[in-house]
Amino acid sequence: ISGDHVDFFAENALEHERSGEMIERIGITAYLEGMGLEVDPNMISVPRTTPYVRMDDWDEEVTKWEERSNAA
């Protein structure tokens, strides 16, 4: 899917435009159609409220993930 995104981006993005900016400009529906993806409500039911990744609880989350992985 990432290769398809790069190809789609190369054909449709404006100069100095980021992926998210291109998707906002052309619309999520046009992007998904261009990528050949089916719309899934989980994709848009809770949009991200911030473009930043929080790292303040990173160690705790890693520990939780490791515990879940070891339990499986």
pLDDT tens-place string over residues 2-26: 999 999 999 999 999 999 999 999 9
DSSP string, 26-55: H-HHHHHHHHTPPP-HHHHSS--S-SPPP-
CA distance 23 to 17: 10
Average pLDDT of the chain to the nearest whole number: 87
Rounded Cα distance between 7 and 30, Å, is 15
Name the domain count of the chain.
Answer: 1
The residue range of the domain holding 41 is 2-71
Cα–Cα distance for residue pair 39/36, rounded to 1 Å: 10
Task: Say if residues 34 and 12 touch (Cβ distance below 8 Å).
Answer: yes
> Is the whole model's pTM more than 0.75, yes or no?
no
